[in-house]
Structure formats: C-alpha cells, structure tokens
Structure 1
Amino acid sequence: MNWYLKVLKQYADFKGRARRKEYWMFTLFNIIFSGIAISLDNATGLAQMGVGPIYGLYALALLIPELAVAVRRLHDVGKKGIMLLVVLIPVIGSLWLLFLLVKDSDPNENAYGANPKLIPV
C-alpha cells in the first residue's frame, strides 16, 4: 500500500525513475480498487454495461498517476516516456511495452537520475 500512496504523492511527476516494484505494486492495488469500484457500481445499480460513475471517476482520477509512474518506469530502464506510444502498434507494441515494464533497472545512474534501488524508501 505504501507504493500506491507513493505514486499518488507524485501525482503528476513525470521526472525521475520508478522501481519495478513501485510500478507493479501500484498496478496491483489499482486493479484491486478498480474491481471494488466496479462492484460498488453494480451493487448500487448505477452500472451501465458493467461500469458506472464510481469506476469512471476513479479511472479518471488515476489517469495522470498511471501515466506518470509508467513514464518513470520507462526512465528507469533508460527509455524515454514517449515509448508508451509503442502500445499503438498492434500486438508487438503491447508485448514490447510489457517487456520494458518487466525489465530490471539500469544498475547505474542514467540521464533520468540515480538508480532508485540504491535510494532508501
């Protein structure tokens, strides 16, 4: 949960680097909270075609932090944030982006800062 809150504190921070653990823990909690929001929409009868306003507001509120942590994650492996657009290439783009998001950090300092693994949390 601390990783999720860390990303929220860096709401629109597209600079620096994000550890693999930070990205994936944020993603895990985001999936859990999205499921809860969808369940609340369904339980209250607000859902239209499976989703409703509770999930819509949650997804809209977390759009910027999701992009920011993904860009910082790409910085951690030495890529520019624009590499997120590779997902627009059918199939291959999604697989390549997944590979970059799973890849381990550059062990040394790169153009985006020091290795976050060496910085105490």
Structure 2
Amino acid sequence: MQWYLKVLKQYADFSGRARRTEFWMFVLFNVLISIVLALIDSLLGFGSFSGSGSSVAFSSGPLGAIYSLAVLVPSLAVGARRLHDIDRTGWWQLIALIPLIGAIVLIVFWASEGNRGPNQYGMDPKQDAAGGYPQGGYPQGGEPQQGYPQQGGYQQGGYQQGGYPQQGGYPQQGGYQQGGYPQQGGYQQQQYPQQPQA
C-alpha cells in the first residue's frame, strides 16, 4: 500500500526514477480498485457485462470512469520514472499506440531491471532505499555521511582520540593512549620526578 500512496504523492512528477516494485505494486492496486469499482457499478446498474462466444466485454460505469481519470496522470508519471530507471526516456510510452507489439515492448521495458548506480535521470532508487549514497553522489571531504558507519572508521579531524578507531579497529586497551604509551597490556604510563629548578 505504501508504494501506491508514494505514487499518488508524486502525482505529476515525471522526473527521477522508479524501481520495479514501486511500479508493479501501483499497477496491482489499480487493478484491484478497478475491479471493486466495476462490481459496485454493476450492482448499482451503471456498468454492464456483454458476452459473445468466448469473449466478454464490460462497459464501466461512472465510478470506474472517474477513478480512471483520477489516476491517469500518476500512471503516466510512474511509467516514465520506471523507463528512466532503465535509462530510457518517458516518451517510450507512446510505443503503446502501436497495436499489440507496442504494448508487449512496453511491458518488457517496465519489467526490466534498472541500471545499477546513478544515471542521467538520477540516483539509483534501490541505493536510496537501502541507505546508500546520499543525494549528490559520494560523501564530501572523505568524511562519513549517510550510509557509512560512523564508528570503526575515521572521524572528523583524522583518527579518534587515542590514535585508533574504538570499534572495528584496534582496541583501546593495549593500544596507544594520549600519553603515548599503552595503559594496559604494555608499558605503564610513568611520571618521572621533576628536577627542582635553581
């Protein structure tokens, strides 16, 4: 449901990229809602089913028609973003105007896996969802940003106090302390008496 609501929030957003999950979950909820509205229309006497031989046709009522118009723009927008994810322009949706073949080609495009990493249309939505690189690309200044562990690596200003990282690197005990020698597991920090000054 969150994917369906995400598409509605980006109602007329034709920029950026959309992963397969976002697109196909929106399609699934659209189909389910359309079926429910079609049943309501038929119960109210607005919709009608007609069959001839092995084919069945359904003419939607006002509820189905209103819903179809309401989701037309977000459907085109998420379709364009899905094409952006495979590094194609959203105008490829016009190929659906070619009978049968166009729809098949478009479905294949929508079902294709997106490009790994950023492309000309934006960042990889899978990396964004997994907490990867922040918007704008790689971290600036070599310091940890979102998606990188704060502990166990370099902190601002170089190494952490004590010379080595606290977690993921050398332990503090037995390593170098501020005084220059290890506190435990090595030489003890000794204070030498100061000579009186004359």
* Common fold by TM > 0.5: yes
Which of these residues, 69, 73, 83, is aligned with residue 60 of structure 1? 69
Contact map agreement 2:37 2:64 (CA 8 A) in 1: yes
Q: Which has the higher strand share?
A: 2
Q: Does 1:32 align with 2:32?
A: yes
Structure 2 counterpart of 1:23, which letter? F
Percent of residue pairs bearing the same amino acid type? 46
Q: Provide structure 1 residue ranges, at least 5 long, that are not aligned to the other structure.
A: none
Structure 2: gaps (5+ residues): 49-57, 131-198
SS at match of 1:111: coil
What SS class does the counterpart of residue 119 from structure 1 fall into?
A: helix
C-alpha contact 1:11 1:68 (8 A) present in aligned 2 = yes
Question: In angstroms, what is the RMSD of aligned CA positions?
Answer: 1.3
SS at match of 1:40: helix
Paired residues, what number?
A: 121
Tell me, yes or no, if the aligned pair for 1:42 and 1:50 is still in contact at 8 Å: no
Q: Is the 8 A contact 1:7 1:69 kept in 2?
A: yes
The one-letter amino acid of 1:9's match is: K
TM-score normalized with structure 1 length: 0.95
Structure 1 equivalent of residue 10 of structure 2: 10
Native 8 Å contact 2:86 2:114 kept in 1: yes
Deviates more, 1:70-79 or 1:85-94: 85-94
**Structure-to-structure mapping, 1:1-121, within 5 angstroms:** 1-48=1-48, 50-120=59-129
Q: Is the 8 A contact 1:3 1:25 kept in 2?
A: yes
Residue 23 of structure 2 aligns with an amino acid whose one-letter code is Y
The structure number with the bigger radius of gyration is 2
**Highest RCO, 1 vs 2 (Cα 8 Å, sep ≥ 6):** 1
Partner deviation per Cα, 1:78-111 (whole Å, 9 max, x = no partner)? 0001000111223322211111000001012111
Q: TM-score, normalised by structure 2?
A: 0.59
